[in-house]
Amino acid sequence: MENNDIKQQVLIFSRARNNLLAVVAFTVINIILSALDAGVNFLFSATIPQVIFEICKGLDSDSGSNLFTVIGLIIAAIIIITYVVFWLLSKNLRVFILVALIFFAVDSLVLVFIILNVEFTYTFLLEIAFHGWILYYLINGVRAWSKLSGVDTDVFNTILQEAKTNK
């Protein structure tokens, strides 16, 4: 590959990683907002951690204790930390962008399952759009990873640093 082709693929891969990090950040914010009963929700986030937390929180409202909320928070944190691990590892072991794509695809399937089993509202269209957006960038990241398979990690990181300093 030529240097410009490598640079283009490195930037695509970097955007995929940035979108994955945004998912982590907005999911954490949504869990905090849910715990505080803020009634506000960001769309650019993972579904499974929020659903688990909400189910556990609902179980607590029936029982009157905080045990299930804590359990839900722990499970949600484990899932979110898994995304963080994928993001961190994908910097040097680029195959983890594929693992993150698979993980998020499962999350998207859960979203579709939820949508099909509850009363439909217009906000679900926005959820689907943002999940599609994230999937698009992760798929492009996987394609870039595939094209960069012969590029050494040091070369990759050097080109990435050059691209960041040129902006």
For residue range 131-148, list pLDDT tens digits in order. Answer: 999 999 999 999 999 998
- pTM of the full structure: 0.90
More confident residue, 35 or 3: 35
Average pLDDT for residues 77-89, to the nearest whole number? Answer: 97
Rounded to the nearest 10 degrees, the angle between the axes of helix 153-166 and helix 3-35 is 80
**CA distance between the termini of the chain:** 23
Task: Answer whether residue 167 is part of any domain.
Answer: no
Query: What's the CA gap between 80 and 25, in Å, rounded?
Result: 9
More confident residue, 165 or 81: 81
Give just the sign of the alpha carbon dihedral 63, 107, 13, 126. negative
- Where do we find the tokens 């999911």? 27
- CA 8-11-16 angle, to 5 degrees, is 130
More confident residue, 48 or 122: 48
Residue % of the chain over a pLDDT of 70: 99
Q: Which domain holds residue 97?
A: 3-162
- Mean pLDDT for all residues in the chain: 91
Helices (H), the chain: 3-35, 48-63, 67-89, 96-117, 123-147, 153-166
Query: Could you report the per-residue pLDDT of 10-38, keeping only the tens digit for each?
Result: 999 999 999 999 999 999 999 999 999 89
Number of domains forming the structure of the chain: 1
